Amino acid sequence: MSLAGSGTDSGTQPGAPTRGRPRSEAVERAITEGVMKLLEEGVPLAELSIERIARTAGVGKATIYRRWPGKEELFVDVVRAAEPPDPELPGVSLRDDLVAMLEQLRQRGLIARSSALLHNVFAQMKSSPKVWAAYHATVVEPRRRKQVDILRRGQENGELRTDLDAELMNDMLVGPMLLRTVMRADADLPEGLSELLVDTVLVALRPADS
């Protein structure tokens, strides 16, 4: 799909609906697709200027700056859109919620391995402290807080030990999956791994009297 345009600030594509309100899903989609197009062409992150992105997406620079304060924040949103969405938690049991969270990490690992583009993008992100910090603040940290909140609720309702810090519990659950998806690119990520990890660790995290 061609994303080239006139370079004006109209924020519209031929045949697309009029932008109207400043935040238009069609315009934002054109911008993020423009970034992906440049990345697919092999343009390094350091050379992805707002001007170049705007020209590729067929919008003006002001259109981008109304939505993102800078290139780093835009880039993080693009990467997040390429990842699997955060899971809808079943809310039926502690175990089911934890399995859902770990399964999202497993699926993300599979996608990152199968996508040369994402693999390259993550490598570039790590070489840019500002982008990596923005990714952690807007993507990684909210996910971690959600995981810790699940564990704290488990402590409050008596399903988990209260003598262990919830942050430590989260490391015990998430650590093995992160090891396999991030640090061991050759490690298997089979179906059922999330359930196996949760069931194994919960044996140690349940109250002794249960």
Cα separation, 179 vs 71, in Å, equals: 30
Q: Give pairs for 179-187: CB < 8 Å, separation 24+.
A: 180/109, 181/105, 181/106, 181/108, 181/109, 181/112, 182/109, 185/113
Quote the CA–CA distance of 1 and 156 in Å, as a whole number.
51
Band (pLDDT 50/70/90 cuts) for residue 23 is low
Query: Within 14-85, where are the H helices?
Result: 25-40, 50-57, 61-65, 71-82
pTM: 0.73
Look at residues 33, 125, 21 and name the one whose alpha carbon lies nearest to residue 66.
Answer: 21
φ, ψ at 135 (rounded to 5°): -65, -45
Check: CB of residue 102 under 8 Å from CB of residue 194. yes
Mutual orientation of helices 94-114 and 141-156 as an angle, nearest 10°? 160
Convert the pLDDT of each residue in 94-103 to its tens digit.
999 999 999 9
The predicted-structure confidence for 77-127, as pLDDT tens digits, reads as follows: 888 887 777 888 887 799 999 999 999 999 988 887 777 777 777 777 878
pLDDT band, residue 210 (cuts 50/70/90): low
Given its phi and psi angles, is residue 58 left (phi above 0), alpha (psi -120 to 50 degrees) or beta? Answer: left
- For residue 172, the tally of other CB atoms under 10 A from its CB is 17
Torsion of CA 130, 131, 134, 135, to 10 degrees: -150
- The DSSP 8-state label assigned to residue 8 in this structure reads -
pLDDT digits 0-9 by tens, 134-188 = 888 888 899 999 999 999 999 999 999 999 999 999 999 999 999 998 888 788 9
- Residue 18: pLDDT band (50, 70, 90) is very low
Task: Tell me what pLDDT residue 20 has.
Answer: 40
